[in-house]
Amino acid sequence: MKTSLVAVIATTLLTLSAQAKPKYAATTTRLVDSTDYVRKSPAPDFWALIPHYVPQGENMCQTATMVMVFNALRNHEALDSETKNITQQDLWNRVNDPKWKKAMKEKKCYGLDQFADVVRRALEIYFKDRKFEVRVEHVDSTDAAAATRVVTDLKQNEASDQDFIIANFDQAVFTGESEPAGHISAVGAYDAAQKRVLVLDVDREWYTPYWVPEAEFLKGLATGDAHIKGKNRGYLVVSPKK
Ligand SMILES: [Ca+2]
């Protein structure tokens, strides 16, 4: 009887281990395995965002990413002793958008255009004396023209910590999961020499920051959302208003 129980447990463990897959896609590299770029290059966005790298709550990748970017935008402000870092709860309360909250709770998160409107409103709430613009870029293709547009924005964005890219992508492309998973996270860096993008994935219960090749990044962006008809995912560029 004892032997048979042991055999059952062993078989179960073997089955479970046979089902488990690598945590990341073969083309994805964890930041901990490749730190040269952020140590040897200025990597302004990485250093602006990483002090504020927070984990998302359930389905709350949008709020977690906004909190990171908003805190990073305040990095150089002379904050007083009464000013707390922006938290997800604080953002939640101050934006106070019941439809947005409901959408996230029901796993029907806002698409890029609606999300951009939330980001714009929130920027006005948090930055009374500074003006920002939020540019929406849907990525409808992985062709050369789309790649050029994305790389141009990545390069521009990598030049300063005054602007940030918020990517909206299918996380499964970067993790190798079989089911698509619409997701939002900030771009932490762009390594032009190695043509790769650092994603500060806020899904920290499962992942740590990772590099994806430019081509995979593009593939992740150029995906459709089941409940957002007609437009692919893509990214937002948050920058000071000119
Ligand atoms: Ca930037």
Strand locations in 85-131 (E): none
pLDDT digits (tens, 9 = 90+) for 32-76: 999 999 999 999 999 999 999 999 987 799 999 999 999 999 999
Q: Which residue has the higher pLDDT, 50 or 104?
A: 50
- pLDDT bin (cut points 50, 70, 90) of residue 1 is very low
Q: How far does the centroid of ligand 1 lie from the alpha carbon of residue 207, in Å?
A: 23
At residue 219, does pLDDT exceed 70?
yes
At residue 18, does pLDDT exceed 60?
no
Q: How far does the centroid of ligand 1 lie from the alpha carbon of residue 122, in Å?
A: 19
28-52 per-residue burial string, b: 16 or more CB within 10 A, e: under 16: bbebeeeeebbeeeebbbbebbbeb
The lowest-confidence range among 36-50, 71-85, 104-118, 202-216 is: 104-118
* Residue list, CB under 5 A from ion ligand 1: 45, 157, 163
Q: How far does the centroid of ligand 1 lie from the alpha carbon of residue 189, in Å?
A: 8
Q: How far does the centroid of ligand 1 lie from the alpha carbon of residue 180, in Å?
A: 28
List all residues 6 or more positions away from 80 whose beta carbon is below 8 Å from its beta carbon.
Answer: none
Of all residues in the chain, the percent with pLDDT exceeding 70 is 93
Q: Specify the amino acid at residue 33.
A: D
Mean of per-residue pLDDT scores for the chain: 92
Q: How far does the centroid of ligand 1 lie from the alpha carbon of residue 73, in Å?
A: 10
The backbone torsions φ and ψ at residue 240, rounded to the nearest 5 degrees and listed phi first, read: -65, 140
